[in-house]
Amino acid sequence: MNEPNLVEIMGKKGTQLTVLSVVFVGMMIFLVPSLIEEAQARIDAKAISLAGSFSGITGIMSLGKFLEHPSLDGVGTTLKWVTIPDQPFGWEHGKVIAHVGNLGKIEFYFENPSNGRNTCDVEFTYALTGYCTITQGNSADATFFVARAPETNNNNFCDLLTKFGGEQTKIIREKLPLLKCE
């Protein structure tokens, strides 16, 4: 083989290899950060109670896992947890259940899908009320608030108790402390 032809061939292969390397490195510069961000998806959550201390706490994940299991602050009125997906491009879906003082049970639901909107919800017994907010994106912040349900005299029991009066009314009111009749 002629020496100039060999130099030309090697020069072309070297140029091709250099171009391929630049393209590969360029793709990695754009691809790696998005993969890392997706792999670091998580929900940082906290629940704040104005109705009493949390107790009897249970965390359940149907998709994903707890990076930090639900735990209380020193006073017992703030509950925190962190969740992550089981796998890259995964999704988180779960709930935390707790009792609040002697008022009943509350359930905090949360979801961070691999694509779509993050959501949260609160279910509670009649003596409690609650709501939640959650940010959008892979790394979401969820905040749940719990309060005592407003006391109203919007039921027929109070009307009946007022009509009957007497010792039995006193006993019924003692047995039903959440029934606030004025």
Per-residue pLDDT of the chain (182 residues; tens, 9 = 90+): 555 564 565 556 555 555 455 555 555 554 444 444 445 689 999 999 999 999 999 999 999 999 999 999 888 999 999 999 998 888 999 999 999 999 999 999 999 998 899 999 999 988 999 999 999 998 999 999 999 988 655 555 555 555 555 565 555 555 555 555 55
Q: Do 69 and 130 fall into the same domain?
A: yes
> For residue 153, which phi and psi values (nearest 5 degrees)?
-105, 60
Q: So what's the pLDDT on residue 35? A: 46
Q: Do 114 and 133 fall into the same domain?
A: yes
Q: So what's the pLDDT on residue 33? A: 46
Domain residues for the domain of 157 are: 152-182
Lookup: tokens for 125? 């017994």
Q: Do 144 and 169 fall into the same domain?
A: no
β-bridge pairing 78-84 and 42-49:
antiparallel
Q: Do 122 and 67 fall into the same domain?
A: yes
Q: Do 28 and 56 fall into the same domain?
A: no
Q: Do 52 and 78 fall into the same domain?
A: yes
Q: So what's the pLDDT on residue 32? A: 47
> For residue 33, which phi and psi values (nearest 5 degrees)?
-60, -40
Q: Do 106 and 174 fall into the same domain?
A: no
CATH number, position 142: 2.60.270.50
Sign of CA dihedral 157, 99, 141, 78: positive
Q: What is the pTM of this model?
A: 0.64
Q: Do 53 and 119 fall into the same domain?
A: yes
Q: Do 77 and 113 fall into the same domain?
A: yes
Q: Report the domain count for the chain.
A: 3
Q: Do 85 and 165 fall into the same domain?
A: no
Q: Do 118 and 159 fall into the same domain?
A: no
Q: So what's the pLDDT on residue 7? A: 54
Measured CA angle at 82 (ends 66, 43), to 5 deg:
110
Q: So what's the pLDDT on residue 38? A: 46
